[in-house]
Amino acid sequence: MFDVAKFSRSFADNILNEPNNQTMKLLKLWMLPLLLLPIFSVAQRNVNAIIDTVETPNGAAILYKNFTWEYLQNEPVLMSQDEDSTGLFSNQWVNSQIFAYRINVDSIHDTLIVLTSNDRVFSMPIYGKLFRGFTYSHKGLDIKLNKGDSVKAAFDGVVRYAKYNRGGFGNLVIIRHYNGLETYYGHLSKIMVKVNEVVKAGEYIALGGSTGRSRGPHLHFEVRYKDIPLDPLRVIDYDSQKLISNTFPITKRVFYPNDYVANALIIRIKSGDTVGKLARKYHTSVKEICAMNKIKQTTTLRVGRSIRVR
């Protein structure tokens, strides 16, 4: 969303303070009533005749016959040098593999990221029953959908990966966003974007499905920072389908499941305990216990050892 007040001001400044230009003089007269009018919805583009386009400090704007205006939304082809001054879309830019950074969580420095801006918004990829959340062994959200439902990009960005993945994701789209996060969309039935394509938040990128390791149509949605997954519900308030906050502090803590501290349960191994038994007893899975404790399924549990089961 752009700032209408700011735009009007800069528009006025731009046009009214340009004394030596004939076009501007004409526009100046034309603009005066416009500036006094409330701004109308941008949805009228196809209804109204276009009078002219004008360059403004914020880009080209279209002027309509009924005294409304809107920015000219050029289809973005490439980002400007300015937008990629940090090398976000050129460094660690890999189209063939799902992970691009291949770094350890310990090498991530604390930082504050700004998720959206005036003209870069958030959009919920799809809304449906949330039936599985972020845990040690499940790095995203599982959202129920019907095969063929449209899946949208969460933020503006560039498609980094768009193909079938054999690791379980099935048809997978990965988008790298201007805010530094990447989002993953798995089990898709159809991919509608190509790698290196620029996408806007809310734009349809795929159709949902059940490809890969999936037991029924759903979207597997992940949010990652430099490959490291974090609980999307730290960023998104699911029920309102909005961001919890516009800024998001990256610290090592955010890469733990949200309930890491509150729900922790550590027990001592007794004779006869196996990971399978513990998983059943504590209503979790073998995979989850192994991931939490960084052990293998085949690891022998020494009696007296402490192990985290929740």
Q: Give the binding site for Zn ion (CB under 5 A).
A: 142, 220
- Token reading at 193: 């974007």
CA separation for the pair 131, 273 (Å, rounded): 30
The residue number with the shortest CB distance to Zn ion is 220
Which one, of 281, 275, 269, lies nearest residue 305 by Cα? Answer: 269
As measured in angstroms, the least distance from the Cβ of 277 to Zn ion is: 26
As measured in angstroms, the least distance from the Cβ of 287 to Zn ion is: 12
As measured in angstroms, the least distance from the Cβ of 144 to Zn ion is: 11
User: Which residue's CB is nearer to Zn ion, number 63 or number 126?
Assistant: 126
Contact partners, residue 287, CB within 8 Å, separation at least 6: 137
- Token reading at 283: 């209503």
CA separation for the pair 246, 255 (Å, rounded): 18
Task: Count the alpha carbons within 13 Å of 3 in the hemisphere toward its beta carbon.
Answer: 9
As measured in angstroms, the least distance from the Cβ of 138 to Zn ion is: 6
User: What does DSSP assign to residue 254?
Assistant: G
As measured in angstroms, the least distance from the Cβ of 222 to Zn ion is: 8
As measured in angstroms, the least distance from the Cβ of 220 to Zn ion is: 3
User: Which residue's CB is nearer to Zn ion, number 152 or number 220?
Assistant: 220
User: Which residue's CB is nearer to Zn ion, number 142 or number 197?
Assistant: 142
Contact partners, residue 74, CB within 8 Å, separation at least 6: 60
User: Which residue's CB is nearer to Zn ion, number 121 or number 130?
Assistant: 130
DSSP calls for 178-204: TTSEEEEEEEESEE---TT-EE-TT-E
User: Which residue's CB is nearer to Zn ion, number 220 or number 224?
Assistant: 220
Which one, of 259, 256, 277, lies nearest residue 267 by Cα? Answer: 277
- Token reading at 100: 């691009």
User: Which residue's CB is nearer to Zn ion, number 138 or number 160?
Assistant: 138
Pairing of strands 141-144, 190-191: unpaired
As measured in angstroms, the least distance from the Cβ of 231 to Zn ion is: 13
User: Which residue's CB is nearer to Zn ion, number 215 or number 302?
Assistant: 215
